[in-house]
Chains A and B, each alone.
Chain A
Amino acid sequence: GAVVSQHPSWVICKSGTSVKIECRSLDFQATTMFWYRQFPKQSLMLMATSNEGSKATYEQGVEKDKFLINHASLTLSTLTVTSAHPEDSSFYICSAGSPNTDTQYFGPGTRLTVL
């Protein structure tokens, strides 16, 4: 099946710094990628939809200036958490849509801890 990778798998940073998370589709091209956030014991919450070559579409309540999304190629989308604060600590998961199967394939997630 299709493989989606995320890097890093975990990151610890100081409050006020910025962190970039990469999401790659390894064996297919994804025109659309999705970014989710998951807090402990909770479900996935969609943050934004990333479309290659255009601006991302953010869900209500998600600050676009804080969570910068770039989808520069058909295999890579990045999420940058700017000026991170402890409340941004969470599990960030991306998924990539396969145009051939209309199926979303999920990455393994990135654990962000902001001190």
Chain B
Amino acid sequence: TQLLEQSPQFLSIQEGENLTVYCNSSSVFSSLQWYRQEPGEGPVLLVTVVTGGEVKKLKRLTFQFGDARKDSSLHITAAQPGDTGLYLCAGEETSGSRLTFGEGTQLTVNP
């Protein structure tokens, strides 16, 4: 079973600060996805990274896939209170197969 270690598990910052969330594994994934989940709702897909070394940007969010496709990071610039939520990384062993989720990072952005 492939495992994904996500850090930090909890993060509380002030509005305007930058932050980075890490997702690491000893295994190789064919793709890695980042989700954001709000209380009482299902996770919403933010991005999928497929190619080693790939960088994708979504407004103030920057996602990077490690060269070896074993790790990924999510960087948020100038965090806003609306960014508050549970951020989850999930790796896919092969295309279309089961997802392995990291433990999640609970982000709180204080105004």
A residues sitting closer than 8 Å to B (CB atoms) are 4, 6, 32, 34, 41-46, 49, 91, 93, 95, 97, 99, 102-109, 111
Contact = CB atoms under 8 A, between A and B. Distances in A.
Contacts of A42: 103-104
A99 B102 CA distance: 24
19 contacts: A4-B42, A6-B42, A43-B6, A43-B101, A44-B88, A46-B98, A46-B101, A95-B42, A99-B96, A103-B45, A103-B48, A104-B99, A106-B43, A106-B44, A107-B42, A109-B40, A109-B41, A109-B42, A111-B40
Q: Which 8 A-B pairs have the closest CB atoms?
A: A106-B42, A43-B104, A102-B96, A108-B42, A43-B101, A109-B42, A44-B101, A102-B95
B65 to A, nearest CB: 16
A4 to B, nearest CB: 8
Interface residues of B, number: 21
Contacts of A111: 40
B7 interface: no
B99 A46 contact: yes
Interface in B53-96: 88, 90, 95-96
A68 B10 CA distance: 34
Interface in B4-35: 6, 35
B40 A44 contact: no
B51 interface: no
A100 to B, nearest CB: 11
